[in-house]
Amino acid sequence: MFNLPAGIRWLLLINVGVYAVELLAPDLLLNTFALWPFGTSEFQVWQLVTYSFLHEPPNPYPLHLVFNMFALWMFGADVERVWGRNRFLTYYFTCVLTAGLTQVLVSYWSGSSAPTIGASGGVFGVLLAFGMMYPNRTILLIFPPIPMPAWLLVTLYGAFELYAGVTGAMGDVAHFAHLGGMLGGYLLIRFGRPRRR
């Protein structure tokens, strides 16, 4: 599949496959596998991982899925080629887990009863890893079309997520989950096993 590393390829295929199932039975998957707030009757421990495979179909365009998978491919492929499949997937799911835990804490604190879905927590962790590995690589955004080094892109995204989370802008987006994914990724890079020389 376009010479993609194995981990990225499987994540793309599974996410697209789950989305296809969601089109047929969205409520079934949402009720069982989305990340529901702690303390609700719907919450289950496995949801701290399974929520990342759900992208509720906003008919007629699957923009949530498309943007997440595009970013995962764009930034994750180079990271996996350096780290290898196993280390990359361990990193990715650590970011997914810390994003989920962060969202559970924020939901409990805020009293929210809404479920969380999407791979964004893992994707933001991958974005952080890319920025740390290739800080000076130039990235050209689609909108606005402004070239910038990867470290600046990561910094701006993180700052925006913090601002949006604190102010409540775009309230239907789990901004703190995105930050939780970045935090988990950063801690794993800094304090995980040493890189092979």
Instruction: Say how far apart CA 178 and CA 191 lie, in whole Å.
Output: 20
- Cα dihedral value 144, 146, 150, 152, nearest 10: -80
164 within a domain of the structure (yes/no):
no
Per residue in 74-125, pLDDT (tens digit) is 999 999 999 999 999 999 999 999 999 999 999 888 878 889 999 999 999 9
Domains of the chain: total: 1
Q: What CATH number should be reported for the domain holding residue 68? A: 1.20.1540.10
141 within a domain of the structure (yes/no):
no
Q: What integer pLDDT is reported at residue 125 of this predicted model?
A: 97
- The residue range of the domain holding 103 is 6-133+173-191
Instruction: Say how far apart CA 148 and CA 132 lie, in whole Å.
Output: 14
Structure tokens at 159: 């700052």
Residue 133 pLDDT class (50, 70, 90 cuts): very high
Per residue in 31-71, pLDDT (tens digit) is 889 999 988 888 999 999 999 999 876 655 688 899 999 99
Whether residue 156 contacts residue 128, with contact meaning beta carbons closer than 8 Å, is answered with: no
Whether residue 91 contacts residue 83, with contact meaning beta carbons closer than 8 Å, is answered with: yes
Per residue in 6-15, pLDDT (tens digit) is 999 999 999 9
81 within a domain of the structure (yes/no):
yes
